[in-house]
Amino acid sequence: MKTLYLRISITIIVVMLASSVTSFLLANVYYQYSLKPYNDQKITHMAEDIVDFYEENPEVRLDQYLNHVGDLGYQIYLVDASGKGVAYGGAFRDQTLSDKVIEQVLTGNVYHGIRELDSKFYITGFFDNALENSIGMPMVIGDEPHALFLRPNIEQQFGELRVFFAKILVMTLILSVLFALISTVYVVKPIRKLTEATKRIARGQYRIQLNVRRKDELGQLASHFTQMAKGLEQLEAMRQEFVSNVSHEIQSPLASIQGFAETLRTGKLPPEQQEHYLAIIAEESRRMSQLSKQLLTLASLDKEEEVIEKSKFDLAEQIKQVVFMTEWSWREKDIVIEMELPSTLIYADKKLLHQVWVNLITNSIKFTGEGGTIAVSLHPQENGLQVKVWDTGIGISEEDLPNIFHRFYKGDKARNREGGSSGLGLAIVHKIVELHDGHIDVKSKLGEGTTFTIWLPRL
């Protein structure tokens, strides 16, 4: 398996090698164009000095003099007119030198071997201990023309230094490879941890501990990852709660249907009792059907934008229809309905908004006592409109108020069971208003009444 660790290590080592080779090549260019001519000039100067000094002081013993110069760190090769040569200072590893070059120097020309030798492109040429790699200077000894070849004795001048630098280079290479291998462990470690965490989330374990104190990209990744894990955990909890709520809501009507059906099967009941039980079964079935309808609505609303089908219609007209549709139930309770509904056009999903008014108005009717009042009003505003549904009902307690829009939340559980409600109505209202980019607000006082205020954009 190609691990990230291996990849990063190899990349670092390749980069190191590539940069070493590149800098070596660049150093060679520098040597070729700058160092080599300078070096040539320096040695030429030295050779001139050596020759000048001897020619000005012919009384000096030549071999002693040249031996001294050799001891100072130079290699010398002196050739006489007959072509016979003597070496002073260290010996040349490669002593070949063409007759043409010797001839040329004997006739009074300076030979620039250091500068001109083409094969010595690489900086290693600087260290090449060859006679060719020297400066040739004409020299007159007792009226005889001679040729003096000179080059620095690198071995003597830089011997130890060369070994020293070579050792440093090798050590640097080995150590940097080693450090690259070690440091990569630290780069890869947090990624390994993240992978481990991902696996744990996949197994359903959401409590993960990651180092989120790091300030770099990995730290950010870890912090976002932890947030995501928390989000998933909440989502999972919500899902479980939802499933248990649904099961609970289905379980109770089913239990009563089952119970009454069993009782009816015994067959020894007076007709009016039978009638009563059958009515309960019918009511519970209706309730279950209502619940499944609401759940389907919520499921489709959860798919977000896809479900919205906008059209232009008169909102006042729609609300009036809902009020008339529910007339039977508010008349039964002697509730007075007040309406302030000026005709107002809106561009929205007609079916979904109908659901909103049905849910709000039936709530008001359900939670308002005999002889109460319900008011529905519509106020066009800039860019949007406001609908208020107000009642003089039982009101909502302060602790219930923040929860009424949650799925399955019912204020007074016992009473609502009889009324056959599931606590999904306001959750649906909230979702629909949200899908229309509007908002809903509620104000209520226990025992005095409740006001729902909805704002919707007109377009």
Structure tokens at 304: 């977000």
391 near ligand ATP, judged by CB under 6 A: yes
Of 274-282, 374-382, 408-416, 425-433, which part binds Mg ion (CB under 5 A)? 425-433
Q: What is the Cβ-side half-sphere exposure of residue 435, based on CA atoms within 13 angstroms? A: 24
Shortest reach from residue 425's CB to Mg ion, in Å: 3
Complex with ligand ATP: residue 101 or 396, whichever CB lies closer? 396
Query: How remote is the C-alpha of 205 from its chain's centroid?
Result: 23
396 near ligand ATP, judged by CB under 6 A: yes
**How many chain residues touch ligand ATP (CB under 6 A)?**
23
326 near ligand ATP, judged by CB under 6 A: no
Shortest reach from residue 422's CB to Mg ion, in Å: 8
301 near ligand ATP, judged by CB under 6 A: no
Shortest reach from residue 393's CB to ligand ATP, in Å: 4
Binding residues for ligand ATP restricted to 52-81, rule: CB under 6 A:
none
- Judged by beta carbon distances under 5 to 8 A according to partner kind, the member of Mg ion, ligand ATP, none in contact with residue 416 is ligand ATP
425 near Mg ion, judged by CB under 5 A: yes
Measured in degrees and rounded to the nearest 5, phi and psi for residue 254 equal -65, -40
297 near ligand ATP, judged by CB under 6 A: no
361 near ligand ATP, judged by CB under 6 A: no
451 near ligand ATP, judged by CB under 6 A: no
Decide: 418 and 438 in contact? Cβ < 8 Å: no
Q: Which of 132, 411, 432, 438 binds ligand ATP (CB under 6 A)?
A: 411
Q: Which of 70, 113, 152, 425 binds ligand ATP (CB under 6 A)?
A: 425
Distance CA 61, CA 80 (A): 16
Cβ contacts of 90 within 8 Å, gap of 6 or more: 70, 75, 129, 153, 155, 156
Q: Which of 65, 126, 242, 409 binds ligand ATP (CB under 6 A)?
A: 409
Of 258-266, 308-316, 328-336, 419-427, which part binds ligand ATP (CB under 6 A)? 419-427
Q: In what order do the strands lie in the sheet with 135-141?
A: 85-88, 74-79, 144-152, 135-141, 111-112
Q: Which of 423, 438, 440, 454 binds ligand ATP (CB under 6 A)?
A: 423
Q: Which residues of 216-247 are buried (b: 16+ CB within 10 A; e: fewer)?
A: eebeebbeebbeebeeebeeeeeeeeeeebbe
Q: Which of 44, 393, 438, 440 binds ligand ATP (CB under 6 A)?
A: 393
Distance CA 115, CA 111 (A): 9
Q: What is the Cβ-side half-sphere exposure of residue 219, based on CA atoms within 13 angstroms? A: 5
365 near ligand ATP, judged by CB under 6 A: no
44 near ligand ATP, judged by CB under 6 A: no
Q: Quick count: other Cβ atoms within 10 Å of Cβ 265? A: 7
Short-list 422, 187, 437, 395, CA closest to 304 = 437
Q: Which of 410, 432, 440, 454 binds ligand ATP (CB under 6 A)?
A: 410
Of 1-9, 285-293, 417-425, 432-440, which part binds Mg ion (CB under 5 A)? 417-425
Of 2-10, 253-261, 330-338, 418-426, which part binds ligand ATP (CB under 6 A)? 418-426
Of 64-72, 203-211, 236-244, 361-369, which part binds Mg ion (CB under 5 A)? 361-369
- Dmax (CA) for the chain in angstroms is 158
Complex with Mg ion: residue 153 or 392, whichever CB lies closer? 392
Shortest reach from residue 253's CB to Mg ion, in Å: 17
- Judged by beta carbon distances under 5 to 8 A according to partner kind, the member of Mg ion, ligand ATP, none in contact with residue 78 is none
Decide: 380 and 318 in contact? Cβ < 8 Å: no
Decide: 380 and 436 in contact? Cβ < 8 Å: no
The position carrying tokens 């990569």 is 184
348 near ligand ATP, judged by CB under 6 A: no
134 near ligand ATP, judged by CB under 6 A: no
Where do contacts with ligand ATP occur on this chain (CB under 6 A)? 359, 363-364, 367, 391, 393-396, 404, 409-412, 416, 421-427, 450
Footprint of Mg ion (CB under 5 A): 363, 425
